Amino acid sequence: MEMGCCGCFGFAFARKSKRLLRPSTVSRNHISQLLLNEELEDEDDYSYNSDVTETGNGDEGELQSPAKCSEEILMYRTQNGLICREFPVKETHMVIRSEDENGNKMVNEYVRECKIGSGSYGKVVLYRSSVDGKHYAIKAFHKSHLLKLRVAPSETAMTDVLREVLIMKMLDHPNIVNLIEVIDDPTTDHFYMVSSCSVLEYVEGKWVCEGSGLSGGLGENTARKYLRDIVSGLMYLHAHNIVHGDIKPDNLLVSGTGTVKIGDFSVSQVFEDDNDELRRSPGTPVFTAPECCLGLTYHGKTADTWAVGVTLYCMVLGKYPFLGDTLQDTYDKIVNDPLSLPDDMNPLLKNLLEGLLCKDPRQRLTLKAIAEHAWVIGEEGSIPQYLCWCKRNKLQREGSDRRSMDTLT
């Protein structure tokens, strides 16, 4: 299944480090929870739901910082038509903070309605545009805080956020959160990422696996529907040589129409070719693949696939497959404990989970195999192929070239 064009992304965000790294005792991203039940706070009340620490024992400058070449990459891709979206992300360089006639706080044209969650480093707030009346989810940050939070020897949280912006500027897929606008006023400390959403996209998008009272999970039909969306979006990312790096329920948002959209690219990496080898794993511990727990080099795409398996397990059973009392205990269980599944589970679903949560990455199911699996196909049929913008352009160019050759002939 061709879901995209690998030629869209001609530069790598990450370079291989020179020596082996081991997971640290604290991950970059702990499991986040959308703060829907808390008393609403002002959007300036920034708390961080991540313990930001170095995830390996690397030396300063061991990995090339994506921020060092992000502008060059963006300029190159823009000039060469290598952005996989028809309409570019709007860039606004002025922030006007005001109030409407009802006293509701505003950022430029957007009227604040309520806080709906937490991103990796800041709040997620629901706004309504006073221009088109549509709702938008805005991730709001303080740049000064991002610059103080060190996530690697040569990187701060601002590096993560800028990488996320740069990646999302390249993407356009129905199962990927769509970035509409970036508001960055150089004279202020505020930084905003504006994403399109229906009113219910974030409100209904709360996922909780452990201790949620979600006995028995979501049910097979809902889990299948969600998994198909996840696989479709992730195939698009992988076809463009993007490793998400933190697939988990909290980073999967459900729209008002029931469509799952992959979000939060703050730890994602982009590669110039199919060599997706990595040495540090900044994802969430319970979703970490066994090979990432061993301090060895690993392939990002197969690690993403493992995380899809953990997510499906959560959706179906309402709990994590491997969870210890401590971080090290969790890693030990991921590496050593056999997968436990109910005896009465649907045999096809059981086969799929065993393939996804295979501890040997070489034997683990690929996304293509998942898409063709009998349980995934179900009564819905094959996952629809998505012809992305860059692929359409490529086919149009090839068609034009063929017509030109025919004319010459």
Domain ranges, ordered by start, for the chain: 6-377
pLDDT at residue number 386: 81
pLDDT at residue number 371: 94
pLDDT at residue number 62: 35
**Residue 209 in contact with residue 275, Cβ under 8 Å?**
no
Amino acid at 305: T
Task: Tell me the pairing of strands 90-92 and 179-184.
Answer: parallel
Kindly state the tokens that stand for 176: 């990927």
**Does the annotation count 172 as an active-site position?**
no
pLDDT at residue number 253: 84
Helix (H, G, I), strand (E, B) or coil at 335: helix
Which listed residue (184, 246, 250, 276) is catalytic? 246
How much is the CA Rg of the chain, to the nearest whole Å? Answer: 21
Question: Which residue ranges of the chain lie beneath pLDDT 70?
Answer: 1-79, 81, 118-120, 197-216, 396-407, 409
| pLDDT, tens digit (0-9, with 9 covering 90-100), for 227-281 | 999 999 999 999 988 899 999 988 888 877 888 999 888 888 888 777 788 877 7
Q: What is the DSSP letter of 176?
A: B
Element (H, E) at 193: strand 190-196
Strand segments, DSSP code E, in 45-175 are 90-92, 97-99, 105-107, 110-118, 123-129, 135-142, 150-152, 155-156
| pLDDT, tens digit (0-9, with 9 covering 90-100), for 322-381 | 999 999 999 999 999 999 999 999 999 999 999 999 999 999 999 999 999 999 998 888
- Residue 88 makes CB contacts below 8 A (sequence gap 6+) with 78, 169
pLDDT at residue number 271: 80
Residue 319 counted as an annotated binding residue: no
* CATH for the stretch 6-377: 1.10.510.10
How many whole angstroms from its chain centre is CA 293?
Answer: 20
